[in-house]
Amino acid sequence: MASSCSGSGMGFEFLTKKPYTPPSWASHLHPLPSNVFSLAHLPTPIHRWNLPNLPPNTELWIKRDDLSGMQLSGNKVRKLEFLMADAVAQGADSVITIGGIQSNHCRATAVAAKYLNLDCFLILRTSNLLVNQDPGLTGNLLVERLAGAHVHLISKEEYSKIGSVTLTTILKEKLIKEGRRPYVIPVGGSNSLGTWGYVEAVREIEQQIQRGADNIKFDNIVVACGSGGTIAGLSLGSSLSTLKANVHAFSVCDDPDYFHNFAQGLLDGLNAGVNSRDIVHILNAKGLGYAMNTSEELNFVKDVAAATGVILDPVYSGKAAYAMLKDMVENPKKWEGRKVLFIHTGGLLGLYDKVDELASVVGNWQRMDVNESVPRQDGIGKMF
């Protein structure tokens, strides 16, 4: 098997561009990417995840793609390794992308662009009430704006009537008229080229299993689905490689039919010759709606963090893990005795947008009570 050419574990590879060699089991796909930029810290760890209330003999493991970087964390950086290499190869001087107001993908793109000396233009979707005012510095916005991204706000109403493709095209044409060379990255980095990010992640999982002592065989892979590129790459990679795990995706927006059709378009773009419905099972975990949470979901995020130290984000992995556990409780036979790998896709910065809702579920503070008899002396405690 060809060695993974992505990752920054060795020497001075971080932020360098290298020729890309696909895994042998993916070499029939075309077009093949020619280059890849090393932007992520890979491989990301896999470890046991002892969530409470698992069905009997169900082993749960977690792959920590939330640890793929700091400013550049989460699943989006894997796609950007391929997309940014293409932008540079095409001679772009700037990138344009689009998403929700707390888009992790937009934040990752803003940082990656500056690493590679490109300008970044973001179209961010917000409510009609907020579209005419400064969007503030909460969560992902802080990183984007510190990194000098040009933020263009659009209302949800306009976005739903015009669509992301037309909006990015309008901005692209405006920049071209100004003499710029923009490169457009779609929502979530989810196009056929971005899909390679998770084809490559499957090779990484394969290699981690081979290097591990117990040569574990995962029966199921579980992941959140928000734009479709991650599930297309994961499910294609799992079906082609030695993994052969069943991929279960929990959609946090739109609906399973939409994602099956969207993923099909990405697979067709790689000439994969497979039906998305045969390689990925998609369940709805949208709840109240994209980026909206019930108190049960937020309590679940808190309970998981308190029990295991793993902080899930409420928009993506939090909803997916919540829906997975719910399914395990409702259909334990389906999961009993199985080895399950959950992919944590990141999104920690988005939690900062939820602080007001989370305040009521955390508690656990008090003023420290120091008895009168404890000696006190001015200047003994140094507070430099």
Q: Alpha carbon of 190 to those of 208, 341, 383: distances in Å?
A: 25, 22, 50
Phi-psi region for residue 170, left (φ > 0), alpha (ψ -120 to 50) or beta? alpha
Helix (H), strand (E) at residue 304: helix 295-308
In the set 6, 38, 73, 103, the catalytic residue is 103
Q: Can 38 be counted among the known catalytic residues?
A: no
CA pair distance 211, 304, nearest whole angstrom:
29
Taking the CA atoms of 254, 259, 262 and 266 in sequence, report the sign of the dihedral they define: positive
**Is 311 in a helix, a strand, or coil?**
coil
Exposure string for 139-158, b = 16+ CB within 10 A, e = fewer: bbbebbbebebbbebbbeee
Taking the CA atoms of 102, 103, 108 and 110 in sequence, report the sign of the dihedral they define: negative
Q: What residues are annotated to the active site? A: 103
